[in-house]
A and B are shown apart, each in its own frame.
Chain A
Amino acid sequence: MSNVYVSDFVYALGSRKTHVTESEAAGRLLSSAEDLESAGFAWHHLCEPGESAYGLAEAVTAQLAESGRLTGIDAIVYATCLPLNGNIGDPGEFARTRDVKHLMDFPASRLQADFGLTDAVVLGLNQQACTAMPGSVRLAGALLAAEPSWRKVLCVTADRFPDGAIYEQAYNLISDGGAACLVGREPEGFRLVSAHQITNGALGQATDDETVGSYFSFTHRLFRESLDRAGLTVADVDWVVTQNTNDKAWQILARLLGVPLDRVWFPSMPDAGHIISADNIVNLAQLIASGQLRPGQRVVLMMAGFGLNWQSLILEAV
C-alpha cells in the first residue's frame, strides 16, 4: 500500500488550433487528412512561432500557483519528450561562442527561479519520450519514499515540436502541449497504487510501422503486468485512461483485455490528437471534470512512446 497521492492535474495546449485538413494542406502530415480522420483525429494545437515548450511549462505551473497549490514543493521533476526541449539556451549561441553552457540552460532551473520554488531541487527526465509523465510520477513516488522529510513533488512535462516539424508520429496527429500534477503525502486526488515500465531498447529506432506492429503485444503485456504487480485483476479496474491514438486500437485492446469499451477514456482525442507526453493528464483531468469518477475507483493510465517505452500508473480515487 503506497501512501503517495497524485492530484492537481492541469494542462495547456499550443495556442493555434488547426484542423487536420489545414495541416495536410500546409504539408505538416505524412498521412492524408482523410486517413487521420478515419482514425478519430480532427483538430490539433500548435505553438505559434514565438511560443516555447518552456512557455507551456510556465502556463501549467502558473495554474497551480494561481490556485494556491504551489506551496511546500521539495522537488521538481521536469520531463520532456524531445531532449531538445530540455534546454532553453540558444544552440546558435553555442555555434557562435563554442561555449557549451548554451546547451545547458535548463528549463527546470528556470521554472524553480521563476516561481520562487527555492526549496525545491530539480530533476530532468528526457529519455522516456511520450511516457515521461507517468515516468515522472513514478520517480516522484520513489523520491518521496527515499526522502522521509519531503512532502510534495511537482511533476511538469512540456513539449513543442521544432518549427517545420512534421506533426505526425507513428500515424498519430500531434499537438504541442504541457501538463503538470502534484505528487505528495496528503490524501487528495488519487492514491498511487503502482507504476510499471517496460523498455525495449532494441526498438529504439523503430520505424512507424514497427511501432504500430509491436503496440498491441506490448500494451497488452504492460496492462497485464501492471495488474499483476498490484495484485489486481481486470475486474478491479474501473477506468483505463489511454493515450490518444487510433481509436480502433483501443477497441481491439479493450476486447483482448476484457475491459468494457465505455470504461476506456480518451475524450480529448478529436480536439487535440496526441499531446506528446500530456495525453494521460489531459484525459484524466477530463474524467474528473465529467463527474463520473467515484471515490475508491481504480484508474489505469497507459502510455507508449519512443525508446521504445511503455509505462503505466494505477491510481485509486480518494
Chain B
Amino acid sequence: MGILITGADGYLGRRAVSALLETTGDEFVLAVRAADAAELAAKRDRLDAELGAAGHGRVTVVGADLTRDDALADVDPRRVTAIVHAAAVTRFSVDRETAQRVNVDGTVRLARFARRCPDLRRFTLLSTLYTAGRHTGDVPERRHEDAGFVNFYEWSKWRAEQHLFDSGLPLSVLRLPTVIAEDDGGTVVQYNAFHNTLKLFYYGLLSLMPGEPSTPLALGTAAFTSAAVAHLVRPEVPAGIYHVTPDPAQTLTLGQLIDLTFDVYERDDNFRRRNLMRPIYCDRQSFDDMVDIARRLKGGPIEQAVASVAPFGTQLYLHKTFRNEALRAAWPGYAAPDPLALADAVCDHLVASRWGRQPVTRQLEGAL
C-alpha cells in the first residue's frame, strides 16, 4: 500500500517525498512528467540519487503527464491509499490555456483516478494561499468565493480546489506560502518572483516598488512546508483546509522586508559603493506603467526580471491576513520560521551567491 505523489521531482515534491520517507513506513509511487522513456529514465536516476538509501525498495517512479488522458495508466489504483498532488505549472506568468490544461484539467484527471482507488484515505492538494485571489482582510481556512484573481496561476489553483471540494474525495488542501529558502539558514535553490524582485533592487534596475509598505507577506521555507506536508497527510490528522503559514503576528510586512533587505545590501561593499537609493512605493497605475515601459526595453535585464514580478505585483496592494487556527490545532508543535531572521538570512545568501551565480565562500557560509 502506498502514497502516490505527483510532481514528485518538483522543488517541494522531492522534499515532501524525503520527509515522508522519514516519517512513514509507506511505499511510494512517484509520478513525474516525462515526454518519453529517455526523460523518464533520467528523472528516475536523479530521484534515486537524491533519495539515496531511504528510497531503496520503497519508491517506484512512473511517468505521468497529467495533460494526457492515460496519465496514470501505469499505476494500480488498488495499491494507493493516499495521494499528494504537487504537480502544477507554478509560474505566475503562466497563460490561461496552459494553466487550465495542467493545473485544472490535470487535477480533474487525478481526481477521476482517485475515485477508482478503493482504499484511498486522503487526497492532499498542495495549493497556494493566493487562491484567495483579490480577497482582502482576514482570510480564513475555508473554501473561497471567486473574488477575482491577479494571474492565471492563482486562478487555476483556485479552480483545482473548487473541483476537488465538489469531488467527494477525503480531501485536505494545504495552502502554502511563497517559499523563499531551503530552511532557516537562508540558502536559496528555487528562484521565484520574490528573489527576482530583490535582485532588481540590488542591481539598481528598479527603483519603484509595487504595493503598500503595510501589506503582510506570507513567506515560508521548503523545510517548513515539507514538514507540514509530512505531518498533515497522516491519517490521524483530520482532513481539512490548512494555511501552512506563520501566525499573522509573525508575518512580515512589505515595508519591513524592503527595509531589512536594504540593511543587508548596505553591508555589502559592492552595493554601498553604488549609492543606490531605496525604492519608492508606487500606486498600481504607476507600476503598470513601469511594467509597460519595461516590456519595451527589449533584450535588457529589466524586461526579463519585471516580467517575473509583474504578474504578482497587484497582490502587494491587497492586504490579506491569512488565518492559521486549523493548522495550529492540527499541528500543535509547529514552528514556523522567524520571519525577520529568515528574510535576513535569505538576503545575505542572495548577495553572497549573487543570486546563485557564484559559490558562497566558506567564511560566508559559516556566517549564514
In the complex the two chains form, what is the Cα distance from A35 to B280 in whole Å?
Answer: 26
In the complex the two chains form, what is the Cα distance from A214 to B279 in whole Å?
Answer: 9
Q: Is the CB of B293 within 8 A of A220?
A: no
Q: For residues 312 through 344 of chain B, which have their beta carbon under 8 Å from a beta carbon of chain A?
A: none
Please tell me if A27 contacts chain B, counting CB pairs below 8 Å: no
Please tell me if A210 contacts chain B, counting CB pairs below 8 Å: yes
Please tell me if A221 contacts chain B, counting CB pairs below 8 Å: yes
Q: A209-B300, A210-B203, A213-B200 are in contact. Are A248 and B280 (CB under 8 A)?
A: no
Residues from chain B with Cβ under 8 Å of A3 in the complex: none
Please tell me if A71 contacts chain B, counting CB pairs below 8 Å: no
Which residue of B has the minimal Cβ distance to A203? Answer: B274
**Of A90-98, A182-190, A251-259, the one touching chain B:** A251-259
Q: Is the CB of A213 within 8 A of B206?
A: yes
In the complex the two chains form, what is the Cα distance from A38 to B286 in whole Å?
Answer: 17
Q: Is the CB of B204 within 8 A of A256?
A: no
Q: Is the CB of B204 within 8 A of A210?
A: yes
Q: Is the CB of B285 within 8 A of A255?
A: yes
Please tell me if A208 contacts chain B, counting CB pairs below 8 Å: yes
Task: Output the least CB separation between B342 and chain A (Å).
Answer: 27
Residues from chain A with Cβ under 8 Å of B275 in the complex: 200, 202-203
In the complex the two chains form, what is the Cα distance from A31 to B302 in whole Å?
Answer: 14
Residues from chain B with Cβ under 8 Å of A218 in the complex: 207, 277
Please tell me if A216 contacts chain B, counting CB pairs below 8 Å: yes
Q: Is the CB of B300 within 8 A of A208?
A: yes
Please tell me if B292 contacts chain A, counting CB pairs below 8 Å: yes
Task: Output the least CB separation between A308 and chain B (Å).
Answer: 10
Please tell me if B296 contacts chain A, counting CB pairs below 8 Å: yes
In the complex the two chains form, what is the Cα distance from A217 to B208 in whole Å?
Answer: 7
Q: Is the CB of B280 within 8 A of A249?
A: no
Residues from chain A with Cβ under 8 Å of B286 in the complex: 251-252, 255-256
Q: Can you list, as one digit per residue, whether each of B294-313 has a CB less than 8 Å from chain A (1) or not (0)?
A: 00111011100000000000
How many residues on A have C-beta within 8 angstroms of the other chain's C-beta atoms?
Answer: 30
In the complex the two chains form, what is the Cα distance from A214 to B280 in whole Å?
Answer: 11
Residues from chain B with Cβ under 8 Å of A32 in the complex: 298
Please tell me if A39 contacts chain B, counting CB pairs below 8 Å: yes
Q: For residues 257 through 287 of chain A, which have their beta carbon under 8 Å from a beta carbon of chain B?
A: none
Q: For residues 275 through 293 of chain B, which have their beta carbon under 8 Å from a beta carbon of chain A?
A: 275-280, 282-283, 285-286, 289-290, 292-293
Residues from chain A with Cβ under 8 Å of B279 in the complex: 217
Residues from chain B with Cβ under 8 Å of A171 in the complex: 296-297
How many residues on B have C-beta within 8 angstroms of the other chain's C-beta atoms?
Answer: 29
Q: Is the CB of B282 within 8 A of A255?
A: yes
In the complex the two chains form, what is the Cα distance from A209 to B290 in whole Å?
Answer: 13
Q: Is the CB of A217 within 8 A of B278?
A: yes
Task: Output the least CB separation between A168 and chain B (Å).
Answer: 12
Task: Output the least CB separation between B204 and chain A (Å).
Answer: 5
In the complex the two chains form, what is the Cα distance from A254 to B122 in whole Å?
Answer: 55
In the complex the two chains form, what is the Cα distance from A207 to B286 in whole Å?
Answer: 23
Task: Output the least CB separation between B298 and chain A (Å).
Answer: 6
Please tell me if B139 contacts chain A, counting CB pairs below 8 Å: no
Contact of B289 (CB < 8 Å), options: A35, A213, A251:
A251
Q: For residues 31 through 85 of chain A, which have their beta carbon under 8 Å from a beta carbon of chain B?
A: 31-32, 35, 38-39
Residues from chain A with Cβ under 8 Å of B290 in the complex: 216, 248, 252
In the complex the two chains form, what is the Cα distance from A234 to B297 in whole Å?
Answer: 31
Residues from chain B with Cβ under 8 Å of A203 in the complex: 204, 274-275
Q: Is the CB of A213 within 8 A of B285?
A: no
Q: Is the CB of B277 within 8 A of A221?
A: yes
Q: Is the CB of A213 within 8 A of B205?
A: yes
In the complex the two chains form, what is the Cα distance from A207 to B204 in whole Å?
Answer: 10
Please tell me if B357 contacts chain A, counting CB pairs below 8 Å: no
Please tell me if A215 contacts chain B, counting CB pairs below 8 Å: yes
Q: Is the CB of B276 within 8 A of A214?
A: yes
Residues from chain B with Cβ under 8 Å of A35 in the complex: 296, 298
Contact of B296 (CB < 8 Å), options: A39, A209, A221, A252:
A39
**Residues in B lying within 8 Å of A, measured CB to CB:** 200, 203-208, 273-280, 282-283, 285-286, 289-290, 292-293, 296-298, 300-302
**Residues in A lying within 8 Å of B, measured CB to CB:** 31-32, 35, 38-39, 171, 200, 202-203, 206-210, 212-218, 220-221, 246, 248-249, 251-252, 255-256
Can you offer 14 A-B residue contacts whose CB atoms are under 8 A?
A: A31-B298, A35-B298, A203-B204, A207-B300, A213-B206, A214-B207, A214-B277, A216-B208, A216-B280, A217-B276, A217-B278, A251-B289, A252-B282, A255-B286
6 closest A-B pairs (Cβ-Cβ)? A217-B207, A213-B205, A217-B277, A35-B296, A209-B300, A252-B286
Known: A209-B301, A217-B207. 17 other contacts (CB 8 A): A31-B297, A31-B298, A38-B296, A207-B300, A210-B204, A212-B293, A212-B297, A213-B204, A213-B206, A217-B277, A217-B279, A218-B277, A221-B277, A246-B296, A252-B208, A252-B289, A255-B283
